[in-house]
Structure 1
Amino acid sequence: MTATVVDDNVVVARAPRVSVVRGYRFELVKLVSQWRIRLLVLACWIAPALFVAGVSRQSTLPADTLFGRWMHATGWAGPLVMLGFAGTWALPLLTSVVAGDVFASEDRLGTWRHLLVAVRSPRRIFAAKALASLTVILLLVAGLACSSTAGGIVAVGNQPLVGLDGHLLAPGDAAGKVLLAWVCALAPTLALAAIGLLGSVALGRSPMGLLLPPVVALAMQVAQMLPLPVAVRLALPGYAFISWNGLFTNPAQAGPLLIGIVVSLVWAVLATGLAYLLFLRRDFTNPAYDGSGRRAVTTGLLPLVGLTALTVAAVAVATPSMGSGIEQDKVQRSVATAFAHLYRMQTEQLHRPAVTEAQLKATAACTKGDGQVAPQGAGNDWRCVVTWHLPGVEAAGTAIYQLDVTSDGRFVADGDGPKEVNGYFLVRTPTGNAPNPLWQFDGNVELLDTSSKG
């Protein structure tokens, strides 16, 4: 306690300010004492393991989900399937419930005056609430990652993982890439959490503050499905939820991922700073305060729109990325590379003489729309003819694939014959029928011209 002398006869005792550490502990206890937060923590640490283990035991796999077709073969596919689901749905909702409500809850309960009297510093209150919400969000993300990994390893085992270019990742390498993919997904998660803080501060008790992270995430997902230039896609913080795919090619397609992470972190810093400024300017004396609509637009929305325009311009200047990024030579190179890797896997299944990718000399000739349209851009009308050579065999082998290429560069190649190569989903091996790796496979076209063309 400190004493302040008011006059000669009166001494007023003044309590010291509450430190950020004490405020953080208090806010963290408040968060984890809520039943919905406890339920979310429990669900994130248990449900993914049950889901991955259950799906891995089913006869039908989510082949339309990235790495879903490999959930029978390796336990490392499960956490990647979960990461794809989390980036689309789970993480926006989790950031909404935690960060989107951390300030608005005080408005609903009318407890701002009590909190200010206790802490006596809006700056410390903001720091404590932001850190507490960040801690809970990190706990939830860690639960999703650890639980889904444990479920996959226990149900299927620590087996090699097939990458997006067909090459085989050893279990140790797969584990490192899976961990790195989840770490990279933290960047857009932080951006959504910062948007939740901004909405919670700017909109007060309005439910729109709580809905802001999932609404923004949904808008970014819709934008990724539209035929927008690559520069626009990379300028959105949600792109890092997609670009982790590039970790599973050789060499890794790191350019889009690094840009997505940087953009997400810049969004997180700016949105948190805007939330901080709005919080310091708010009226704590009015118990019916519901946020200032005009200030929310001028201080909250317009700077983020300006940041998007700035990042679009920066990416467009730094890289030649004003087109779709999906071009004929890139598609042909990706299909040929994946086919060569997977052909070796099929050769091993059938116990045929070993062959290397260099010996196969696989090439692909791809057209779009039966050659009636320019061979570029997304679409399900791509057709590729793969040609390869076997040592000691004069005639070249050919196989046909129908491709569905999405706007983010991911494609699914569907085998269209010959039957003994890729026309059926099972192959007859000396030990019985086995899934044919050449029947259908996933691939990834790097949208930026930064990877090796060799």
Structure 2
Amino acid sequence: MTAAITEAPALAPPVTRPAGLSAAFRFELVKLLTQWRIRILLVGCWVGPALLITAVSQQSSLPSDTVFGRWMAATGWAAALVVLGFCCSWVLPLLTALVAGDVFAAEDRLGTWRYLVMAVRSPRRIFAAKSLASTAVILLMELGLAVSSIVGGVAVVGNHDLVGLDGRVIPAGHAAQLVVLAWACVVAASLAYAAVGLLGSVVLGRSPIGLVMPALLAFVLQAAQLLPMPAAVRLALPSQSFLAWRGLFTEPVQSGPLVIGLVVSLAWVVVATTLAYLIFVRRDFADLAYDGPGLRPLLATVLALGAVVAASVAVVATATPSTGSGIEKAKVEQSMATSFAHLYRLQSRELHRPDVTEAQLRTSASCYRAGSHGDDQGPGNDWRCVVTWHIPHATAVGTAVYQLDIAAEGRYVADGDGPQEVNGYFQVHTPTGDAPNPVWQVDGLVDLSSRSSSKGRS
């Protein structure tokens, strides 16, 4: 008897499907969130602002040299804006550098590209997943900064009215809406820095310089803001949204710089992300010694970003009526007169005087630059203003002298220089005790994108 031997049918090799975009995104997100530096940054963003506000509230002096710093003890909304101003200077660019600046270069240093490509099988999906994951982490950090500063400010200082950058008292409810909108407006600039970080991570390969690209860009732009330059150039910089949110706290809202900043930031996002994508999908993932695409793509990147700046300057110069630095005598006079009129009413309420309206006060200002020989324009700490107003039911006219320090971005601080009973002392004597004098120091903002008016009246 013979046994029949039959061959087993050959089994087909298992079919492995490439990872989809959602799976790749979750994988990249988990990779980021498992890094110790990302976890520390997230905890710092969600806790740090509240701790900072609590510490400052215990001090005897306030950061009066910062925007809304002098009102930090009066309302929690001012405290949230102080944190926002500090974050716009350095915190947000550093966060984007630490998250987006290393998201591609880390794979080069670890030599893991071949495994990732085998799993996903699409450089396009890899780029999209890494970009979306880094953006999600950055937005989560920025949300933490906003929530922590708002909750911490309201809890520690209180939900009180806010004095705007034109002296107007903003009700607490409306101030809450403006603060949330201000935090939302800086998202565009944050994404622009993140796009530069992605581009640096792709172009520079293993080099750690890609990690600091957003921080380096922030340093260059911070230095550029200190230089004398035309308003069109200043408004066309990608950091404009980090400054333009201040215009929300004037009446009327200074929407010109804000819109320009948002459009310019989005243009940088599109150009930088597109460049990073085109360079990334053309790389050789099988080359274990790959260390960047070479000099030609790097040069093309520099030229493309330079073209974005040139095009932005040309469009802004054509679209805005402002010329020169954007800081002109008529604008300063109008802003100073408006701010004083609003703050004078606030002082009258503190002193329990009869309320008056801006129309009754008929406030005006006469400003000049010391030694300017009639060319009263541009930033500087040598501005002088004499504010006059009409006292209701009296023939007397009040006068107050101010010394102004106007920064290049249009923000100014006016220090009272007498008379003492009006603006010469930092406190006023009220029936309930001493209180801060609203007109002793005045914070204001000149709209660089607007056309100057002929008179400085409120």
TM-score, structure 2 normalization: 0.95
Deviations 1:300-343 (A, max 9, x none): 22111111111111111112334100000000000000000000
Q: Do 2:321 and 2:451's aligned partners in 1 also have CA atoms closer than 8 Å?
A: no
> Is this contact kept in 2: 1:278–1:299, CA < 8 A?
no
How does 1:290-329 map onto structure 2 within 5 Å? Answer: 290-329=291-330
Provide the residue aligned with 1:50 in structure 2.
51
Distance 1:395 1:137 in 2: 58
TM alignment of 1:206-221, pairs within 5 A: 206-221=207-222
Are 1:171 and 2:165 matched, yes or no?
A: no
- Give me the whole-angstrom Cα distance separating, in 2, the residues matched to 1:53 and 1:362: 38
CA distance in 1, matches of 2:348, 2:398: 14
Task: Supply the AA of the counterpart residue of 1:289.
Answer: Y
Whole-Å Cα distance in 1 between the matches of residues 209 and 372 of structure 2?
48
Q: Which amino acid aligns with 1:31?
A: L
Partner of 2:203: 202
The question of 1:383 aligning with 2:401 is answered no
Structure 1 partner of 2:154: 153
Cα offsets for 1:235-290 (capped at 9, x unmatched): 11101100111000001000110010010011011101111011011121222221
How many residues end up aligned between the 2 structures?
447
**Partners in 2 of 1:295 and 1:113 — Cα distance?**
25
* Correspondence for 1:238: 239
Q: Is the 8 A contact 1:365 1:384 kept in 2?
A: yes
Secondary structure of 1:353's counterpart equals: coil
The one-letter amino acid of 1:133's match is S
Kept after mapping to 2: 8 A contact 1:48/1:82: yes
2:401 and 2:417 in contact (8 A); partners too: yes
Q: Which AA in structure 1 matches 2:270?
A: V
CA contact (8 A) 1:57 1:72 kept: no
- Helix, strand or coil at the partner of 2:239: helix
Q: CA contact under 8 A between 1:201 and 1:291: conserved in structure 2?
A: yes
Correspondence 1:73 to 2:50 = no
> Is 1:74–1:159's contact at 8 Å kept on the other side of the alignment?
yes
- Residue 255 (structure 1) aligns with: 256
Which string of whole-angstrom CA distances, capped at 9 and with x for unpartnered residues, describes residues 145-172 of structure 1? Answer: 1101111111110000000000000011
Counterpart contact for 2:178–2:249, Cα < 8 Å: yes
Question: What CA deviation, in whole Å up to 9, does each residue of 1:85-105 have, x standing for no partner?
Answer: 111110010000000011111
Residue identity opposite 1:237 in structure 2? P
SS of 2:365 mapped into structure 1:
strand
Distance 2:379 2:23 in 1: 53
Any conservation in 2 of the 1:370–1:383 contact (CA below 8 Å)?
A: no
- Could you tell me which residue of structure 1 aligns to residue 267 of structure 2? 266
> What one-letter code is carried by the residue in structure 1 that aligns with 2:328?
E
* Paired residue secondary structure (1:76): helix
Unaligned runs of 5+ in 2: 1-8
**Distance in 2 of aligned mates of 1:145 and 1:284:** 40
Q: Deviation at 1:374?
A: 1.2
Unaligned runs of 5+ in 1: 1-7
Kept after mapping to 1: 8 A contact 2:235/2:260? yes
Q: CA deviation at 1:441?
A: 1.6
User: SS in structure 2 opposite 1:72?
Assistant: coil
Distance 2:110 2:264 in 1: 35
Deviations 1:188-228 (A, max 9, x none): 00000000000001101101100100101111111111111
Q: 2:190, 2:218 → 1: CA distance?
A: 10
| Cα distance in 1 between the residues matched to 2:390 and 2:127 | 65
- The 1-side partners of 2:252 and 2:361 are apart by 19
Partner of 1:345: 346
Q: Does 1:444 align with 2:438?
A: no
Identity of aligned residues (%): 60
Q: Residue 403 of structure 1 aligns with which residue?
A: 404
2:420 is the counterpart of 1:416? no
Larger radius of gyration: 2
Aligned residue for 2:240, secondary structure, equals helix
SS in 1 for 2:76: coil
Equivalent residue letter for 2:30: V
AA partner of residue 77 (structure 1): A
CA contact under 8 A between 1:220 and 1:238: conserved in structure 2? yes
Residues 14-53 of structure 1, C-alpha deviations (whole Å, 9 max, x = no match)? 3112110000000000000001000000000001101012
* Greater Cα shift, 309-318 or 336-345: 309-318
- SS of structure 1 residue aligned to 2:423: coil
Task: Write the distance in 2 (CA, Å) between the matches of 1:355 and 1:322.
Answer: 37
Report SS of the residue matched to 2:81.
helix
**Corresponding residue of 1:287:** 288
Q: Displacement of 1:451 after TM fit? A: 8.9
- Equivalent position amino acid for 1:183 in 2: A
Corresponding residue number in structure 2 for 1:185: 186
Q: Post-superposition shift, 1:9?
A: 7.6
Letter in 1 for 2:417: D
In the TM superposition, 1:21-60 aligns within 5 A as: 21-60=22-61
Equivalent-residue separation in structure 2 for 1:362 and 1:170 (angstroms): 23
Q: 8 Å contact 1:53–1:154 — kept in the other structure?
A: no
1:133 partnered with 2:127: no
1:425 aligns with 2:414: no
Name the residue aligned to 1:5: none
Paired residues of 2:328 and 2:452 also in contact (CA < 8 A): no
For residue 372 of structure 1, report the CA deviation from its aligned partner.
3.2
Instruction: Map Cα deviations across residues 110-146 of structure 1 (whole Å, 9 max, x no partner).
Output: 1000111111111111110000000000000001111
Distance in 2 (CA, whole Å) between partners of 1:327 and 1:231 is: 15
Distance across 2 between alignment mates of 1:254 and 1:57? 36
Contact 1:164 1:444 in 2 (8 A): yes
SS of residue in 2 equivalent to 1:79:
helix
Letter in 1 for 2:448: L
Structure 1: how far apart are the matches of 2:21 and 2:453? Answer: 49
Give the secondary-structure state (helix, strand or coil) at the position aligned to 1:381.
Answer: strand
Q: Deviations over 1:325-364 (max 9, x none)?
A: 0000000000000000000000000001111111000000
1:363, 1:388 within 8 Å by CA — same for their partners in 2? Answer: yes
Please report how far the alpha carbon of residue 11 of structure 1 lies from its aligned counterpart in structure 2 after TM superposition: 4.5
CA drift at 1:54: 1.6
Question: Structure 1 451/369 Cα, relative in aligned 2: closer, same or farther at 3 Å?
Answer: closer
